[in-house]
Amino acid sequence: MNQSHFFIGIDDTDAPDGMCTTWLGTILARMLQKSGMQLLCARLVRLNPTIPYKTRGNAAISLEMIGNAEYAFSLACDLVARNAVLSCQNTNPGIVVSIKKPPSDFYWKAVSGICTIEEAIHVINKHCLYHKKYKLGRGLIGATAAICSEFPDKTWEFLAYRNQDRLMQRREIEHESFYLSEKLTFPHTWDTWDEDEGHPVCVPHSYDPVLYGIRGDTPFSVTRAVSFIISEPPGMFQVWETNQGTDAHLVQCMGEGPEEGISYLIQGKVLSNPVTGKGGHVSFILLTGKLEILCMAFEPTKKFRDAVRSLKAGDKILVMGSYLKKTLNLEKFYLFNADPVPLPHAPLCPSCKKRMTSAGLRKGYKCRICGQREREPDMAYERRTIHPGWYEVPPGARRHLARPLARGMAPPDATCLPINQRSDRLS
Ligand code: ATP
């Protein structure tokens, strides 16, 4: 058989009530390995988190292999045809095979922007060997982006999959073992356990084939964390190389201002003190240049809202989040300064020891008893309940792509550039 180095990308095979593209990718990798091919790298590639067509976390997969590309493609087509939930209107699978990795531009557009199927087909026609689409074939976007992907920063996820005959039963997991796993391996793993809510966050609740997923900084860290977990026996597992937790989706806000469906990092000043609205959502206006941007911390971000409430007008911050319905949905922010808030008030009259009152607009203060005047107010300062530094949403409300503080976050430099534009690209 003709042996070559190749990449195969797959996307859009699942539906809300079942299946998962990573499960299908794992089955494909196992079958190709059994046929004598070599798996060099299995990538779980998260794409723009705001895409409305997504089923859950907008993930696509790519397998980098050595073997027979034509056979791998025909096997992938067969697996997708038999397992994808084609009856679901929103499931439109795509499969792409390429011998050489195409340029990464299409990946960066798919992770941070909005792509069309035609754009994916343009890349495929120029660089790829085989492709197949089912129904609308929207999955060609994710499948192409996955094989174009470059990870200047990367993390790993150990995905354990359920035995097929247990899919309709409740997942059997020992909660405390997830707590222990995170305690013993943090910060090399993260987002296993939600400390505030007191439950695992890495176990799905739906009928999809994933039993749990452990995220961490190396394949060793995630595998070690799994050794502490007690659960029903997984049917199979795969350690995926991923762009999760890398902030790859963030771009700088340029020109006219934010666009719908794009995730930004924006530096600016808090224009007015945050307010808590209906449903417990907390909002404030950010002033950046001449633009005023509504920023929101929604109710599911729980304690993060307390940090947002502690901001004051005038604070200089860097915010990160997706712009949807003319609102920046906060994922994380950096507070540069937390200066005490000046609280001017009328001074005491030095003779009468009584508080003076305003003498009128810009006229200072006047003692109503002896008529003595004072130009300047007395100054008190409100102590801040927040310190300069990073603040993030809890694990349960975190975007897959958002870099958790557990990974370490340096204070932003003067440029505040997103990852794909930084010269020192994070390792
Ligand atoms: P799955 O497990 O099937 O991958 P999911 O939650 O990851 O589930 P999909 O079902 O793949 O979501 O749906 C996402 C769809 O959006 C796919 O067809 C994918 O090709 C497409 N898509 C992904 N990123 C973009 C983008 N930036 N612009 C336009 N379409 C995109």
Q: What is the pLDDT of residues 332-372, one digit of tens each?
A: 999 999 999 889 899 999 999 999 999 998 899 999 999 99
Report the DSSP beta bridge partners of residue 44.
61, 242
Most distant CA pair in the chain: distance in Å? 105
Give the global pTM: 0.92
- How many Cα atoms within 13 Å fall on the side-chain side of residue 340? 8
For residue 141 and ligand 1, the question of a CB distance below 6 A is answered with yes
H-helix or E-strand containing 41?
Answer: strand 38-46
| pLDDT one-digit tens code per residue, 398-425 | 999 999 999 998 888 766 777 766 655 5
For residue 217 and ligand 1, the question of a CB distance below 6 A is answered with no
pLDDT at position 422: 64
Nearest one of 87, 94, 79, 77 to 136, comparing CA atoms: 94
> What is the separation of C-alpha 100 from the centre of its chain, rounded to a whole number of angstroms?
29
For residue 59 and ligand 1, the question of a CB distance below 6 A is answered with yes
* Neighbour-count burial for 48-70, b at 16+ CB within 10 Å, e otherwise: bbbeeebbeebbbbbbbbebbbe
For residue 136 and ligand 1, the question of a CB distance below 6 A is answered with no
Measured torsion, CA atoms of residues 199, 58, 128, 242, in degrees rounded to the nearest 10: -30
Protein residue with its CA nearest to atom 17 in ligand 1: 139
Distance 91 CA to ligand 1 centre (A): 9
Nearest one of 256, 412, 254, 251 to 322, comparing CA atoms: 251
From 14, 58, 149, 262, the mutation candidate for ligand 1 (largest count of ligand atoms within 8 A of CB) is 58
For residue 14 and ligand 1, the question of a CB distance below 6 A is answered with yes
CA–CA distance, 104 with 150 (Å, rounded to integer) = 6
Distance 58 CA to ligand 1 centre (A): 5
Q: Which two tokens stand for residue 31?
A: 């079958």
CA–CA distance, 376 with 269 (Å, rounded to integer) = 27
Show the CA angle centred on residue 194, arms to residues 213 and 57, nearest 5°: 45
Q: Which two tokens stand for residue 145?
A: 């982006």
For residue 181 and ligand 1, the question of a CB distance below 6 A is answered with no
| pLDDT one-digit tens code per residue, 285-334 | 999 999 999 999 999 999 999 999 999 999 999 999 999 999 999 999 99
Distance 270 CA to ligand 1 centre (A): 35
How far apart, in Å, are the Cα atoms of 46 and each of 39, 77, 116, 168, 336? 20, 22, 17, 27, 30
| pLDDT one-digit tens code per residue, 186-206 | 999 999 999 888 999 999 988
Atom of ligand 1 nearest to the CA of 60: 4
Distance 68 CA to ligand 1 centre (A): 27
